[in-house]
Every structure is written in C-alpha cells, then in structure tokens.
Amino acid sequence: MKIAHARERNSPAGAPFRLHVAVDGAGARWLDLEIARRRAAQRDERLAHNSTLFRQPITTLDDHLARGMRVEALAEIVDRFEAIEAVDEDDAITDAADLTFGQPILHPSSLRDFYAFERHVATMWRRRDMDIPEAWYRLPIFYFSNVSEIRGPGEPVWAPDGSKELDYELEIGALVDTPVNNVSAERGEEAIGGYFVMNDWSARDLQRDETIVRLGPAKGKDFATTLGPWLVTPDELADRRSGKGYDLGVTATINDKVISQGNWRDIHFSFGEMVERAAADVQLRAGDVLGSGTVGGCCLLEVKDESGFGRYLEPGDEVRLIVDRLGELVSPVITRAR
C-alpha cells in the first residue's frame, strides 16, 4: 500500500488531512479510507461490532497507531472497498492532482537519524584528514532530531538565523508501527510499517561549529526535517531486496538540474540493525521515525563542486528528492522571516 495524509486542494484553510490509500501503482488516484470504512460498515453491520477498525472513524495514521493497530491493518478496508457505479464518479476516490499531501506521520513521537552509508561517512571524515573510526563499522550510530519542526511535501524551508550554508540530505525514513524493545536485527524490520523519502536539512556552518566539541549536531539540524510524500509498506518493495537494503535508485535535483544520485542497496546497516540498536534497553513506540542517514553523494557538502552547482541553497531554489517506488519529495527554499 501507499498511504498518505491528503486533503482536497480547494478545502477551506485549516481543513484536516484525511487518510488515503493509492488505488493504482503510480499514486495517481487515491481512496479516502473513512468513506470506504463507512460504506463497508453500512453494507455489513457486523463489522462495527466485531472489528475495532470499523467501529470508529478513520482520521489520521497517528490516531490509528495510538489505537494499537498496525499500518497493515488498513488493508482490510481497501480489500472490502466496493466502488459505486463508475469509479470515475465515486466520491471515495480523488485524483492526485486535486489533492494536497501532508507528511506520512503528522506528529512523530521521536526521530532518530542514523549514519548508515559508508560513502557519506567517509567524505565527512576525509574532510578532517582522518579515516572512518573503527567503531562506525560495529555500531549503527544515531542522534535525536527535533520532532517539532517536521515539514510535509511542498512546505517551504529556510536557513536558520546566522546560517549561509543550507544543505539538503537525501535519506530513507522508516516508521515504527508497533512497540518493541531489545529486539534482534533479524526481527527488527518486522517493527517497520513503511518507508518514505526524508530530507534531513542541514545548516553546515552552524553544524561545523557545534561538532567541534563532539557532542553531535544541534541547531545545525533541528530547524527542519521534511517527510513524504507518502508511506510505502514493505511488501511493495520486497522484489527489489538487495543485501541490507533495496535496489532502488535515488536522485536529488535543484531547480530541475540533477545534482546527486545513489542507491539504497549501498547501505552498510539494515533497518533491522538500526531497530536493534535503537531499541536496546529502551522501548521504541508506534510513531517513532528512523532515518537512514545521507545516501552516499546525496548532499551539497559532498557534491556541490563536482556537480557544477557550486554553492549552497538560496531562497528561490526548489529541491526535489526522488526515490524509486517511494515517490518525489519537493521543497521550496524561501527567505527566513525576520
């Protein structure tokens, strides 16, 4: 399934997002799950009595997880959906062109961002004239980012105060959809409800000052993270499994110029290993987000000169991150309000 928070483009300001599922592989048409739920419950009155899924309205994925249900449970609504007459005229289905999309999880309970692609890590340490520390090869390393500044598709981003080196970072995001703790890497990926594109924005000049003291990034990272455009369940990717990742190409463009390219299959740590590390002696919760870290070569810090782009991001730029099967995540860069 492809699952998204979306609302009609002509909705009143402040209208809530509604949970939708793509009814075609390309994500061109979307089924409103609450309309589909009501229709199924009216057709079979036993559903509301026998199933929590059909007993209460479908609102957001956040609410669905809070009720103790996993992402895959939503498939039953899709399976039971019956179109009324011609599908083109069904009020349960809307064309993507008529929708505005929000982030796949509206209010993540936490965000752990890992450092799992060796090419990116090697570049960071080479800039310090040092080799990758031996510990990196043994331990999936992560830092906690800020869940209060999550952006969705199309939402603007700006450089934080004092920064002139705004950078994108193309990552894979994963949503934990069931509580786990002290789980093995072999079982870790079973806790993931789906994947999405993630942009871990960075203010490189602020980050450079902060990391001198080796405590990790803070204001160089916590001003924005963009997620979207939708959540893709693991079964949609299974046929492209390759090593610890998936054979899925990634591309970053700025103003429609290709800047970066890479592949998820090059990841050094699997998401199962990330879950194992994150859940060691603590409980991961449904709604927690894990980031892969930057795909090798997929940020300006690594490629701004060799790509010919030659600078960091400025107001007026448009960043587009593309991951095969996960979709395209577009973000405009604007001037920070003073």
Place of tokens 């980031």: 291
Helix/strand number for the chain, H first, E second? 11, 20
**For the stretch 284-310, what's the b/e string if a residue is b when 16 or more beta carbons lie within 10 angstroms of its beta carbon?**
bbbbbbbbbbbbbbbbbbbbbeebebe
In sign, the C-alpha dihedral spanning 245, 248, 253, 257 is positive
**Closest listed residue to residue 328, CA positions, set 201, 193, 197:** 197
**For the stretch 225-260, what's the b/e string if a residue is b when 16 or more beta carbons lie within 10 angstroms of its beta carbon?**
bbbbbbbbbbebbeeeeeebbbebebbbbbeeeebb
First to last CA, the chain: 42
In degrees, rounded to 5, the angle at the alpha carbon of residue 43 between the alpha carbons of residues 37 and 47 is: 60
What is the tens place of the pLDDT at every residue in 23-71?
988 899 999 999 999 999 999 989 988 999 999 999 999 999 999 999 9
User: What are the residues whose beta carbons fall under 8 Å from the beta carbon of 258, sequence distance 6 or more?
Assistant: 251, 252, 307
Q: For the ranges 50-64, 72-86, 90-104, 158-172, which has the lowest average pLDDT?
A: 72-86
pLDDT at 137 over 50: yes
| pLDDT tier at 186, thresholds 50, 70, 90 | very high
CA-to-CA distance for 178 and 167, rounded, in angstroms? 33
E strands along 34-163, which residues? 93-95, 99-101, 110-114, 142-144, 150-151
pLDDT at 87 over 70: no
CB–CB of 177/286 below 8 Å? yes
**Residue 191 CA, distance from chain mean position:** 16
CB atoms within 10 A of CB 326: 27
pTM of this structure: 0.95
CA-to-CA distance for 226 and 197, rounded, in angstroms? 8
Mean pLDDT of 160-173: 97
CA-to-CA distance for 287 and 161, rounded, in angstroms? 30
CA-to-CA distance for 232 and 41, rounded, in angstroms? 26
Structure token digits, residue 104 = 């796949």
What is the tens place of the pLDDT at every residue in 189-243?
999 999 999 999 999 999 999 888 878 789 999 999 999 999 999 999 999 999 9
CB–CB of 42/87 below 8 Å? no
What is the structure's pLDDT at 88? 57
Domains of the chain (ranges plus CATH)?
2-101 (no CATH), 110-332 (3.90.850.10)
| pLDDT tier at 86, thresholds 50, 70, 90 | very low
242: which DSSP letter?
E
pLDDT at 324 over 90: yes
CB–CB of 84/122 below 8 Å? no
In sign, the C-alpha dihedral spanning 297, 302, 306, 312 is positive
CB–CB of 292/134 below 8 Å? no
